[in-house]
Structure formats: structure tokens, C-alpha cells
Structure 1
Amino acid sequence: MASTTLNSLPEVSSTPAGPPISTIIPVVSAFASLLASTSGSIFWHLWTLTSSLYRFSPHHPIIYVSLPVLRYLFAPFVVLFEIVLGAFIWTPWNLAVGALENLYPIYILCGIACIVGSFVGLFGRLASAVLIGMVLENSESKPKPVVQEDEKAASPAHQG
């Protein structure tokens, strides 16, 4: 009663998919390119407009009429720009400055500890070198007992 069982598992072929960021990079690149070209165009038009307004004297009626209109037109963009700056620049900056101000005493404590530790280690190393030198100098200056050849030959340890 020998029975054979075949385990046949279906082979799973997986196609190697690239990392997810490889699908995002072209979108981000296209968006950055569009943003750069749009902002460049807006900047150029604003520069042209303001340079043409500066040709007039400050008391010219066109400036008195056009500046309030321009302020009202650009007010939403200015407010949006302030919100974006507040969210992405000033708030993280203030958080980082606050954290660094709170961590500054710990930074000073660790810095002083490292400096003092290096001085203690350096002076300990110098002191140990001086002490070792003194001990070796004292041991070398003591006269060693002279063992004569006759005693070496007569000692039972050297007899074989």
C-alpha cells in the first residue's frame, strides 16, 4: 500500500516592481517645473509692472489709482503666502529655536564634562607616566645581588 502524494504548488512569478518613489519622482518633477515656470512668469510680469510704475513720479495719479487696486488684487496671494510661510518656515523655525534654547544647558553641561574629562585623562596619563618612570628608575638604581659562577654550579637546581 504504497501511495505517492504529489505536492505541486503553483509557481509564483513576481515581476520586480521598482520602488514606490520611482513613480512619484516624475510627478514631483513635473509639478516643480510647472511651479518654477509659473512663478518665473508671474515675477517677470510683476517686475515689468512695478518698473513701469516707477517711471512715473510718486505724485502721478496713475500710481494713486493703481496701487490700491493692486493691493486688493494681490491680497489673497499675500495672505496665502503668509500662511504658507507661517506653516512651513516660521513655525518649524520657532520650534527648533525653542528646543535648542531648552537644550542649551544640557549642551553646555556635556561640553564642560568632555573638556574636564579630557583634562583629567591627560593629567592622569602624565602622572602615571611620571610614576612609572620613577618606579623603573628606582628599581634600576638598586644593586642586584651578584651570583658567582661557583654558586650557580653548586646549586642543586642546576645539576641535572
Structure 2
Amino acid sequence: MSSPEAAPAPPLERALPYVVSGVSAAFSFFSALTRFASFAFSLVSRSISFFSPLPIILYLFAPVIVLFDIMTDVFVRWPRHIALYLLDAFYPLYVFCGVVCIVGAILGLTGRLVARFLVDMMVGLQEPKVVIEVKTEKRRKSTKRRRKEKD
């Protein structure tokens, strides 16, 4: 008898080590690239902040900035927080009053319709009798005509 021959490995199994090493190399490359970019950015930002006049300008305008911050606290932020607190506190009362108004309107309309229906059922549907009276008044003659008649 002949010995069984080993079956060749499938193509995916042969390519898998190359794919894994390629992904690993790409990951290493991008990791090194990001480290280099962050290092370069830190060097540039340090040199810009060293030569930048911004800290001096901020130091000079610090009283104005603090005053503006205090003014916005007093005239904008605190009233807003107070208004929001009051709105949150009175929200249940607002909802209750709204529901009461809606339910009252529905009950009132329903009561009116039921009462009208019951009255119509007891009295019966009759057309209202409309009597139109026309009053005739005697007109007075104007004073000019009276004068002419007297003459």
C-alpha cells in the first residue's frame, strides 16, 4: 500500500501570515507618524506661545475681562438661573391649571349639550314662533314746512 500524501495547505492559510505582518507594519507606521506629528506640534506651539504677544495682551486686559465676567454673572447668568428655577418650581402648577381649564371646558360643553338634548326631548322639537311687529310712527312735519303753510 502506498502512504497517503499530505494535502497542500489552502491559499488563505498560506497568505494569512503576510496579511498579519502587513497590518502590524501599517499600525506601527501610523503610530510612529502620530507620535512624530504630536512632537512637531508641541515644538511649534511652544515657539508660538514664546513669541506670541497674546499673554501680554491678556494680562493688560485682565481687569476688563474680569469685570465683563462679573457683569455677565450678575445681569445674564443669575437671572437666567433664577428664571429656570422658578419655571421648574411652578411647572406642576402650570400643568395642573392647564388640565383643569381643558377638563372644565370639556365638562361645560358636554353639560350644555346634554341639557339641551334633555330639554328638547321633554318639550319636543318646535320651531320658534317669530312675530315681527312693525311700528308705524306719525312723522312730524319739519318746521320749514310749517312756516310755509302758515304764510
TM-score for both structures, normalised by structure 1: 0.46
Structure with higher RCO (Cα < 8 A, 6+ apart): 1
